[in-house]
Homo-oligomer: A and B are copies of this chain.
Amino acid sequence: MILLAGSFDTKAAEFAHLRDVLVARGEQVLLVDVGTSGVPGLVADVTREAIARAGDVTLGDRDRADRAPVLAGMAEGLRRLALERADDLTGAVAVGGSGAVALAAPAFVALPLGMPKLLLTTMAEVAAQATSGSDVIVVPSPVDFAGLNGLTRLVLDRAAAMVSAAAAVPEPREGGRTVAVTMFGVTTTAATEAARVLASAGWEPVAFHANGAGGRTVERLVRDGRIAAVLDLTTTELADELLGGKATAGPDRLGAAARAGIPQVVSVGALDIANFGPPDTVPARLRSRTMSQHGPLDTLVRTNSEDGVRLGEILAEKLTAATGPTTVVLPEGGFSSLGAAGGAFADADADAALVQSLVTRLSENIRVVHAGVPLDTADFGRIAAQELLALLPPSEMDRHRHPHIA
């Protein structure tokens, strides 16, 4: 079922046309009116009043001064409705200008990754900003939506064709063999080797850059059930979350896998680093730290022993909450290529403080492996991958190779 959301006062003709085209393509349609003024020109499956109730606002008073909270409430109402109906939905389309973008963006961003969600708009840049970090598709319209004509019909027909065709593409059958591998520039050697080991054992490693967006995407994909296991080599985003750096993935990083109960191997990759912008964006309290200038826009700040203790606590708390098999693999001699012996961020004391804090707090059912090598090495990657494979069921490929395994 395709969700169609917009203002059924000014855009009734457009939505009626979209509905007709989609129905002609064999789609079921859920018409949702999020308009706040004028009179709906199209009968909605979910009315504006129902959306207002879901968003805890009333449409009654439409004074200009009250408009912003009403619009925010309608956006929230649409978001709640969309999430409630998400299992029935195969795609979503919203149409309009900046108002439509503001109304639809929170709902579309909240809908599952992979579901085709098209924001058809005359305000493409506003839409791109409002949906930043998501997989919402912005379809810019060169013509205003103010009634049907040859040009708007072409734009609408093509959007309908796109969402319908994308929704018809089946989820990959080989799903359930995807393994997320978190990496950063300074942990690439380990991650690359780990991915190679996983792939050769018949799994599908997917690398995610632990730059904030990457970590959030992993959390999201785990939540959506699209990831079989996580090789969380690079948990650096926790350092950014702690120190206020720009590459944070939010406080819930590592939460999804713990809750989902999927197998995970976790390490401390790049926890020696927090990321800031140009030098003047580093907070005053951190200016005495060891720093490294990685281009004019990137200043790296070394975490210290005190941070290490706190990061160890945070990791231990997150891992203890895990409901699935969990192994911690720890390096010897640096958490990243920058923190390895001779590197600008080498600081054995700070590393030891973190490891000590973590290990003493971990619950007993969590396996701890001391790899004995620096993190950003092929050896470390191989050891971590093998630990994960030990938590995973044998792949088809393995069963084929070793028919004695059940």
Enumerate chain A interface residues (CB-CB to B < 8 A): 113-114, 116, 124-125, 128-129, 131-132, 134-144, 146, 149-155, 157-158, 161-162, 164-166, 168-169, 171-172, 174-175, 177-178, 204-209, 217, 220-221, 226
Contact = CB atoms under 8 A, between A and B. Distances in A.
Nearest to A161: B165
Nearest to A156: B169
Identical copies in the complex: 2
B124 A132 contact: yes
A137 B177 CA distance: 30
Main secondary structure of the interface of A (DSSP, over half): mixed
A154 B172 contact: yes
Contacts of A205: 149
Contact of A169 (B138, B161, B171): B161
Given A134-B140, A136-B140, A158 B116 contact: yes
Contacts of A226: 150-151
B142 A113 contact: yes
Contacts of A132: 124-125
Nearest to A203: B149
A135 B140 contact: yes
B204 A146 contact: no
A207 B169 contact: no
B175 A166 contact: no
A135 B142 contact: yes
Given A131-B140, A161-B162, 15 more contacts: A113-B142, A116-B158, A125-B132, A128-B129, A142-B217, A149-B178, A149-B206, A150-B172, A150-B226, A151-B226, A161-B165, A161-B166, A161-B168, A161-B169, A165-B165
Contacts of A169: 154, 157-158, 161
Nearest to A132: B125
A139 B119 CA distance: 11
Q: Across chains A and B, which 7 residue pairs bring their CB atoms closest together, nearest first?
A: A165-B165, A128-B128, A149-B204, A161-B165, A150-B172, A162-B162, A158-B166
B146 A171 contact: no
Contacts of A143: 206, 208, 217
Contacts of A208: 143-144
Given A150-B175, A153-B172, A165-B161, A144 B114 contact: no
A175 to B, nearest CB: 5
Contacts of A116: 158, 162
A204 B152 CA distance: 10
20 contacts: A113-B142, A114-B151, A116-B158, A116-B162, A124-B132, A128-B129, A134-B142, A137-B140, A142-B220, A144-B208, A149-B206, A150-B178, A151-B206, A152-B206, A154-B172, A157-B172, A161-B162, A162-B162, A165-B165, A165-B166
Given A161-B169, A166-B158, A207 B146 contact: yes
B174 A150 contact: yes
A136 B125 CA distance: 12
A29 to B, nearest CB: 17
Nearest to A114: B154
Contacts of A165: 161-162, 164-166
Contacts of A140: 131, 134-137
Contacts of A137: 137-140
Contacts of A152: 206
A24 B144 CA distance: 35
A175 B221 CA distance: 44
A132 B128 CA distance: 10
A134 B155 CA distance: 13
Nearest to A158: B166
Nearest to A113: B142
Contacts of A155: 114
